[in-house]
Amino acid sequence: MKPRLVLVGLGHGQFEILEHLDRLRECYEVSYIGGREAIYTGAFPQVIAGEMASATTRLRRDIAPVAERLIALDPDARLVETDHGNIAYDILVLATGAKSRGIGTGLKPMTRNMLDEIVQSDAITIVGGGKAGVELAFACIRRKRHVTLYARDILPDLPHHVGRQTARRLVQSGVTLMLSSFQPGTKAEGLVLDATGVGPDDWWAAAGLADHDAFIETTADLRHRVYREIYITGDMAARLNGGVDAVRSGRHVARQLLGTSRPFKSRTSLNILLTTPGRALLTFGKLTWHGRLPYWLKRKIDRRHVERFN
């Protein structure tokens, strides 16, 4: 009998793993738990800005979910509790992402309904001045009446002058910049979006996969430190960082499952944020470049990704 491989969640890395479904089926009894579609976060600001029709990526047609949601996990018994009963596994791949911290409407997990709600709202208040909050503010101001961004700092991970220039561009574009934290009870205009980053989901600690309020620790090959038959991808893993790592972690796990593994190496990732019309900010570590070429590159990468998985 083949080992039972259970894949959970339609995170960015899972799409990479599902690309190898035919070969995986030769070695494993493969089951999938999760939804049939996901929003590609690299591209959804372009949908809000009216530059792309859709950021929806879809599950392959030749795999049917055995359940829609993981509810709990018993790693000692190797059982996943789902909305369709318990499912046993020999090897488990988790790609369910992390969740927003809880101010207003969380951006994670991102759904099509939430994206529609953002597109339809006239006024938006965004909390968080990191890359996600800044890109969202630039995207929203194209088609919204009012956009307010609450942030103590703008792009705090980048050199100071880049944050200052970006703050100027935001204000020139019409964004109301509040250089302060958003306090509970603050009177906000329109839909409040939480771009303050993500935190752990409650079930991780309940299952004994992580300490309370912590991300999941893995070995360098992305296996859980104690439960070696569990692979962790994307935002769930303490050692990974952002969407590019989520995709790379999926490729790495696919290779491990197929026996062609190489050690996972953390790399500095290239990020590109949409800014003013026709321009984007490319960042690679502390290096930055604002202009038309990053914009062109971003559109090419994002369109290719959405077409590949749609």
Ligand X SMILES: Cc1cc2nc3c(=O)[nH]c(=O)nc-3n(C[C@H](O)[C@H](O)[C@H](O)COP(=O)(O)OP(=O)(O)OC[C@H]3O[C@@H](n4cnc5c(N)ncnc54)[C@H](O)[C@@H]3O)c2cc1C
The residues binding ligand X (CB under 6 A) are 8-13, 33-35, 38, 41-42, 69-70, 95-97, 107-109, 132, 135-136, 195, 233-236, 242-244, 246, 271
Nearer to ligand X, 35 or 75 (CB): 35
Minimum CB separation from ligand X for residue 263, in Å?
Answer: 20
Nearer to ligand X, 259 or 276 (CB): 276
**Looking at 195-274, which runs of residues are DSSP E strands?**
198-199, 230-232, 270-274
Nearer to ligand X, 167 or 207 (CB): 207
The C-alpha atoms of residue 13 and residue 237 are separated, in whole angstroms, by 12
CA 187 to the chain's CA centroid: 29
The C-alpha atoms of residue 243 and residue 223 are separated, in whole angstroms, by 19
Minimum CB separation from ligand X for residue 23, in Å?
Answer: 21
The C-alpha atoms of residue 225 and residue 218 are separated, in whole angstroms, by 5
Nearer to ligand X, 2 or 308 (CB): 308
Nearer to ligand X, 1 or 191 (CB): 191
Minimum CB separation from ligand X for residue 156, in Å?
Answer: 16
Identity of residue 210 = A
Q: What is the DSSP string of 212-266?
A: TT-PBPB-TTSBBSS-TTEEE-GGGBTT--HHHHHHHHHHHHHHHHTT-------
Minimum CB separation from ligand X for residue 247, in Å?
Answer: 8
Report how far apart, in Å, the C-alpha atoms of 302 and of each of 12, 82, 289, 290 are.
13, 32, 18, 18
Identity of residue 149 = L
Minimum CB separation from ligand X for residue 212, in Å?
Answer: 18
Nearer to ligand X, 39 or 167 (CB): 39
Minimum CB separation from ligand X for residue 257, in Å?
Answer: 16
The C-alpha atoms of residue 106 and residue 195 are separated, in whole angstroms, by 7
Nearer to ligand X, 2 or 289 (CB): 289
The pair of three-digit structure tokens given for residue 66, joined into one six-digit string: 């055995």
Q: Please state the φ and ψ torsions of residue 268, each to the nearest 5 degrees.
A: -70, 130
The C-alpha atoms of residue 154 and residue 163 are separated, in whole angstroms, by 5
Minimum CB separation from ligand X for residue 105, in Å?
Answer: 11
